């Protein structure tokens, strides 16, 4: 699994790139304000909450990096190879812009270290110099270093500035103030105040914790990413959290609330030689963060170009090129430097800082979600050396999303909308690329398995009144007509579940297996044009009877046992009825409800509605017929239709039958009005089939009942004599259903 190259960086650059970004501008400029505003314990709460995002993300990155080789592009590579190239590119573009603009953010923060220069000019000459007199030359210098010298020289510079950063923090901890000597501060007396401003301060401070993934962007330049990324990233994250806790304690111990909130360089008053060392540390921290970002961002851009994420072929080729002598993504570095320079020239990135944080949160949430789905999916190919825990990754994902909206709900929505637009555009010109299904599929398989086991264990506790159809249909005529599929789709669209089996008659062999795969794909493509919720499969069996026997013994796709079998025949081919009649007893032995659909060459006019005929012999069938009419009406094709019920009864029971039907409609909350219920007295001189033909000739669908004993006696003749009707559904209920 581990793939080691002879050249490249080791673990130290990953750690130093991450820790230098973590201990950045926020540490020096805003942490004192945070402690002064919400107190020591409030800041500890912020640190812990922030690391509920960053630690799971660091562990998720470490885990994924040890499962497969992480190539150039770092976080982008991980996300794109897990969620697919189109979604990966969407998040990758947002991630790249965050990284590029972060360079400008750190350079602008770098100028705060030279506050004494600006103060000097203002006091002695009256000239208020713009910050750009330092930030623009600094940006040019940084760009020159990266473009001309590359990451190797950048890494050497990074070691130097990290050394300064370490010295400044050490001298800060060693410093003492008059307040610390007279103040009796302790953990027990520390304050927790202004909690109504907790998330305001959190939004200001959180970017301080977001540098832990900076080192991952060097993945393409590492000798052994599977070792360096987990060790470097995790160590930097935990070390940063501990340092921040101690800094919060030192600030609360060394300065009063007023100084903490009013003096953004309060650390300079605390550290030994602070007037020099803290501005120097601020300069070191911001320039090191800028260095880390400007080394990582071009590699993200290059990886995007390698994956042809941009619409221009020439642009992709140009951005993906390396410099031969040192494999530096020089063209991507030039673009990154230009973007950063533009924002530096603007003088402030405050307006976009929170949106940048949104994109980082999306990235972190995505990484945690990938880890969680891989855990939950339990794919045999997911075998990382470093293992996190599924619940840690889930916490990281949930907290990432929650924090996004707590920081700024408007920016959170704006980030999501912008990324949706980017995705739709990328998906438009890369229609052939996908991959999102793969990572979700394993998780869905596991969830489906667990749900089915749960349903099986609890099936004996189910209330009979909660009946719903779980139907299976076996057809040999799938490519001749789709009536059987339509019936199953109507039933399973909203309220039921359906499995459609296409029968291939013959013995199981390599030839028939290949035929089944080809025909299954054709059926999926054919039915995909319809909006359906039906599971489609093929079955190879030597006969129709053996196919039925096999099918009715397997569980339904929903995890519950199948309780209904649907047969289908063409009105013009009544001889097919014989086979159905012969197999009725087999199905009935399994206590299945049986529906026999009669296809008609006449087009179905949905607006003409569904007619349900309840005859005096339909005691067991009546409720199922009514329920099925309601279920079928739930399909969009029937949305303008209504149900009409015809019930025949003895002449002296008309009032009683009417009352019973009205109560059924009322208590069953069925979409049927009294005017759509017609009670018909049975007359000896009136042929019921003729009456049905007359009244339901124009119906979109007619539902009739039949009894098993009549089928046994009359065979297929029980279904003939309805020549004037269009599509018909004959229903036999195993037992009387309850409508409640």
Average pLDDT rounded to a whole number, residues 625-641: 88
Top-confidence residue, 174 or 357: 174
Average pLDDT rounded to a whole number, residues 700-726: 85
d(CA 608, CA 23): 72
Q: ∠ CA(387), CA(376), CA(367), 5° rounding?
A: 60
d(CA 560, CA 475): 22
Domains of the chain, residue spans: 11-124+131-344, 462-732
pLDDT digits (tens, 9 = 90+) for 579-594: 888 888 899 888 899 9
Top-confidence residue, 559 or 707: 707
List all residues 6 or more positions away from 614 whose beta carbon is below 8 Å from its beta carbon.
621, 622, 625, 626, 645, 646, 647, 648, 705
Q: What pLDDT is recorded for position 150? A: 59
Burial class (CB in 10 A: 0-12, 13-18, 19+), 682: middle
List all residues 6 or more positions away from 295 whose beta carbon is below 8 Å from its beta carbon.
17, 146, 151, 154, 155, 217, 218
Q: Kindly report the number of other CB atoms within 10 A of residue 161's CB atom.
A: 23
At 2, the pLDDT band (50, 70, 90 cuts) reads: very low
pLDDT digits (tens, 9 = 90+) for 286-299: 887 787 788 888 88
What is the DSSP annotation of 277-309? HHHHHHHHHHHHHHHHHHHHHHHHHHHHHHTT-
Q: Which of 12-16, 134-138, 471-475, 484-488 has the lowest mean pLDDT?
A: 12-16
- Nearest Cα to 244, choosing from 56, 21, 47? 47
Judge whether residue 303 has pLDDT over 50. Answer: yes
Judge whether residue 408 has pLDDT over 50. Answer: yes
Contacts 24+ apart (CB under 8 A), 386-389: 386/59, 386/62, 386/63, 386/65, 386/66, 386/230, 387/63, 388/56, 388/59, 388/60, 388/62, 388/63
- Name, of 143-147, 183-187, 216-220, 588-592, the range with top average pLDDT: 588-592
Q: Helix/strand/coil (H, E, C) string of 543-575?
A: CHHHHHHHHCCCCCCCCCCCCEEEEEEECCCCC
CATH of segment(s) 11-124+131-344: 1.20.1740.10
Q: What pLDDT is recorded for position 170? A: 92
Q: How far apart are the first and last CA of the chain?
A: 59
φ, ψ dihedrals at 470, nearest 5°: -125, 95
Q: Say if residues 557 and 535 touch (Cβ distance below 8 Å).
A: yes
pLDDT above 70 coverage of the chain, percent:
87
Q: What pLDDT is recorded for position 69? A: 64
Across all residues in the chain, what is the average pLDDT?
A: 82
pLDDT digits (tens, 9 = 90+) for 267-293: 889 999 888 888 888 888 888 778 778
pLDDT digits (tens, 9 = 90+) for 3-27: 444 456 677 778 887 887 788 778 8
| CA-CA-CA-CA dihedral for 395, 400, 402, 407, to nearest 10 | 150
Q: What pLDDT is recorded for position 511? A: 93
CA 727 vs CA 524, 541, 641, 695: distances in Å: 24, 29, 15, 14
pLDDT above 90 coverage of the chain, percent:
16
At 44, the pLDDT band (50, 70, 90 cuts) reads: very high
Q: What pLDDT is recorded for position 4? A: 43
d(CA 259, CA 272): 18
d(CA 731, CA 464): 19
For 384, the enclosing helix (H) or strand (E) is none
- Nearest Cα to 355, choosing from 419, 285, 425? 419
Q: Say if residues 309 and 93 touch (Cβ distance below 8 Å).
A: yes
CATH of segment(s) 462-732: 3.40.50.12370
Burial class (CB in 10 A: 0-12, 13-18, 19+), 302: buried
Average pLDDT rounded to a whole number, residues 469-476: 89
Q: What pLDDT is recorded for position 209? A: 81
pLDDT digits (tens, 9 = 90+) for 546-576: 999 998 887 776 667 888 999 998 888 877 8
Q: Kindly report the number of other CB atoms within 10 A of residue 666's CB atom.
A: 11
- Name, of 18-32, 507-521, 627-641, the range with top average pLDDT: 507-521
């Amino acid at each position: 699994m581990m793939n080691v190259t002879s050249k490249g960086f080791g673990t130290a650059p990953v750690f130093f790139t991450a820790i230098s970004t973590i201990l950045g501008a926020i540490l020096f400029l805003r942490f004192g304000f945070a402690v002064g505003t919400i107190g020591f314990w409030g800041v500890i709460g912020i640190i812990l909450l922030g690391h509920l995002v960053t630690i799971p993300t660091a562990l998720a990155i470490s885990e994924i990096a040890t499962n497969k080789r992480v190539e150039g592009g770092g976080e982008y590579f991980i996300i794109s190879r897990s969620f697919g190239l189109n979604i990966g590119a969407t998040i990758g573009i947002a991630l790249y812009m965050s990284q590029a603009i972060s360079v400008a953010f750190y350079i602008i923060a770098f100028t705060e270290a030279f506050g004494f220069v600006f103060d000097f000019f203002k006091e002695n000459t009256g000239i208020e110099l713009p910050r750009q007199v330092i930030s623009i030359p600094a940006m040019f210098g940084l760009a020159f270093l990266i473009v001309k010298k590359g990451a190797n020289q950048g890494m050497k510079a990074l070691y130097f500035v990290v050394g300064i950063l370490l010295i400044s923090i050490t001298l800060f901890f060693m410093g003492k103030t008059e307040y610390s000597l007279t103040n009796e501060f302790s953990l027990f007396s520390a304050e927790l105040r202004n909690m109504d401003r907790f998330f305001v301060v959190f939004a200001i401070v959180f970017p301080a914790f977001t540098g832990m993934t900076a080192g991952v962007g060097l993945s393409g330049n590492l000798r052994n990413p599977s070792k360096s990324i987990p060790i470097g990233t995790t160590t930097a994250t935990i070390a940063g959290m501990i340092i921040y806790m101690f800094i919060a304690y030192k600030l609360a111990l060394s300065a009063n609330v007023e100084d903490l909130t009013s003096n953004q360089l309060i650390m300079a008053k605390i550290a030994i030689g602070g007037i020099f060392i803290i501005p120097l540390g601020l300069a070191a921290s911001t320039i090191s963060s800028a260095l880390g970002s400007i080394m990582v961002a071009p590699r993200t851009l290059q990886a995007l170009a390698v994956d042809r994420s941009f619409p221009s072929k020439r642009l992709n080729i140009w951005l993906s090129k390396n410099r031969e002598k040192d494999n530096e993504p020089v063209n991507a570095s030039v673009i990154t430097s230009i973007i950063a320079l533009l924002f530096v020239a603007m003088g402030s990135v405050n307006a976009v800082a929170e949106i940048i944080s949104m994109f980082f949160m999306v990235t972190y949430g995505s990484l945690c979600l990938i880890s969680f789905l891989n855990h939950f999916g339990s794919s045999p190919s997911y075998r990382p050396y470093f293992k996190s825990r599924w619940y840690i990754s889930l916490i990281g994902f949930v907290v990432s999303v929650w924090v996004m909206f707590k920081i700024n709900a408007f920016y959170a929505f704006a980030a999501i909308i912008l990324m949706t637009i980017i995705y739709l555009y990328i998906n438009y010109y890369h229609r052939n690329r996908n991959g999102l299904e793969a990572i979700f599929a394993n998780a869905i398989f596991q969830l489906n398995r667990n749900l089915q086991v749960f349903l099986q264990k609890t099936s004996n506790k189910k209330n009979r009144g909660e009946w719903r159809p779980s139907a299976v249909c076996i057809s040999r005529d799938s490519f001749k007509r789709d009536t059987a599929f339509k019936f199953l789709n109507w039933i399973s669209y909203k309220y039921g579940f359906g499995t459609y089996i296409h029968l291939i008659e013959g013995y199981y062999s390599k030839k028939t297996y290949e035929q089944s795969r080809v025909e299954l794909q054709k059926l999926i493509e054919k039915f995909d044009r319809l909006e359906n919720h039906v599971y489609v499969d093929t079955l190879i069996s030597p006969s129709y009877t053996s196919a039925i026997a096999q099918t009715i013994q397997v569980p339904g796709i929903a995890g519950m046992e199948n309780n209904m079998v649907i047969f289908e025949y063409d009105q013009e081919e009544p001889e097919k009825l014989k086979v159905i009649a012969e197999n009725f007893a087999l199905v009935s032995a399994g206590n299945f409800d049986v529906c026999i659909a009669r296809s008609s060459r006449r087009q179905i006019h949905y607006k003409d509605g569904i007619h349900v005929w309840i005859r005096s012999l339909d005691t067991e069938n009546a409720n199922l017929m009514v329920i099925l009419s309601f279920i079928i009406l739930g399909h969009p094709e029937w949305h303008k239709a209504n149900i009409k019920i015809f019930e025949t009864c003895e002449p002296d029971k008309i009032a009683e039958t009417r009352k019973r039907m009205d109560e059924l409609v009322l208590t069953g909350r069925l979409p049927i009005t009294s005017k759509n219920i017609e009670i018909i007295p049975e007359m000896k001189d009136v042929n019921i089939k003729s009456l049905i033909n007359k009244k339901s000739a124009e119906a979109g669908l007619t539902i009739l009942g039949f009894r098993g004993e009549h089928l046994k006696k009359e065979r297929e003749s029980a279904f003939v004599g309805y020549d004037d009707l269009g599509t018909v559904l004959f229903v036999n209920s195993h037992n009387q259903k309850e409508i409640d």
